[in-house]
């Protein structure tokens, strides 16, 4: 899905570059891996997913960070939005009041996605760096 977005947007210049910086076949692998494994393991399995995919596929530490972050952030954004919209935000707005976010569910979604992205990014970068340090 993310793959489609990146290819179809290649035409436009800035946005296209930006999107392809974060999304590529590697991103799809991360998303698939994280999506499936999170049904069986705790939340931190996203780090393993990004690590493994980037260990195998990334070409630079920068790419590994961006694709790791982009993949997990995209996955978490889609799933979060699904719950938020399908449930009329019944719980997200309440949680956004308990956390000091003034009941702003949008902000809560942004923070959720940022946290997922950050973990994905650093895990992905670690995956690439570990591989390259082992290959000589």
Partner 1 sequence: MKYSKAIVSLAFTIALCYALNRGWGTAPAFGRFLSPFTGFWVNAEKPLSDKPVQGSLQLAGLQDEVTIEYDELGIPHIFANNDHDLYLAQGYVTAKDRLWQMEFQTHYAAGRLTEIVGEKALESDKYNRRMGAVYGAEKSLAGMMEDPQSKVALEAYSEGVNAYIDQLKVRTLPVEYKLLGYQPERWTPIKSALFLKNMSFVLASGTDDLRMTNILRKYGREVAEELFPNYPFEESPIIPTGTPQDFTPLPLPKAPADFVGTGSMKASTERDKGIGSNNWAVSGSKSASGLPLLANDPHLTLSLPSIWYQMQLVGPNVNVYGATMPGTPNVISGFNKDIAWGVTNVGADIVDWYEVKFKDAKMNEYWHDGQWKKITKRPERYIMKNGEVVLDTVLFTHHGPIVYLDNEKPFKKNIPTGHALRWIAHDKSQELTTFYQLNRAKNYDDYVKALSFYAAPAQNFVFASNQDDIALWVNGKFPLKAKLQGKYILDGTDKMADWQGFIPHAHNPHVKNPARGFVSSANQSSTDPIYPYYINWEFAASERGRRINQRLEGMSKITVDSLRALQNDNYNLKAAGILDKLISLVKAPTAKQAKAIKVLQTWNKQNDVGEIAPTIFETWSNLLYESIWKDEFAYDENIPMKYPSLDKTIQLIKQEPTAKWFDNVNTKNKVETLEELASTSLTATLDSLAKWQKADMGDTWAWANYKSTDIKHLIPGLDAFSKMNVKIGGGTGIVNATTERTGPSWRMIIQLGKNNAVKGYGVIPGGQSGNPGSPHYDDMVETWRQGKLNELLFLQNKNEKSARIKKTIKLTK
Nearer to partner 1, 14 or 40 (CB): 40
Instruction: State the residues that interact with partner 1 by CB under 8 A.
Output: 38-39, 42-44, 46-47, 51, 61, 76, 79-80, 82-84, 86-95, 97-98, 103, 108, 111-112, 115-116, 118-119, 122-123, 125-126, 129-130, 132-133, 136
Instruction: Report, in Å, the least distance between residue 2 CB and partner 1.
Output: 16
Instruction: Report, in Å, the least distance between residue 67 CB and partner 1.
Output: 15
Nearer to partner 1, 29 or 74 (CB): 74
Tell me the C-alpha distance between 22 and 77, whole Å. 14
Burial of 44 (0-12, 13-18, 19+ CB in 10 A): exposed
Nearer to partner 1, 20 or 77 (CB): 77
Nearer to partner 1, 9 or 110 (CB): 110
């Amino acid at each position: 899905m993310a793959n489609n977005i990146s290819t179809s947007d290649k035409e436009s210049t800035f946005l296209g570059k930006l999107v392809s910086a974060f999304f590529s076949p590697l991103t799809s692998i991360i998303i698939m891996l994280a999506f499936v494994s999170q049904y069986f393991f705790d939340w931190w399995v996203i780090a393993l997913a990004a690590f493994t995919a980037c260990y195998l596929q990334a070409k630079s530490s920068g790419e590994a960070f961006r694709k790791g972050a982009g993949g997990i952030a995209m996955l978490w954004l889609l799933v979060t939005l699904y719950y938020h919209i399908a449930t009329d935000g019944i719980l997200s707005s309440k949680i956004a009041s308990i956390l000091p976010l003034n009941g702003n569910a949008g902000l809560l979604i942004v923070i959720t996605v940022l946290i997922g992205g950050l973990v994905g990014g650093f895990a992905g970068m670690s995956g690439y760096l570990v591989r390259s340090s082992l290959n000589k």
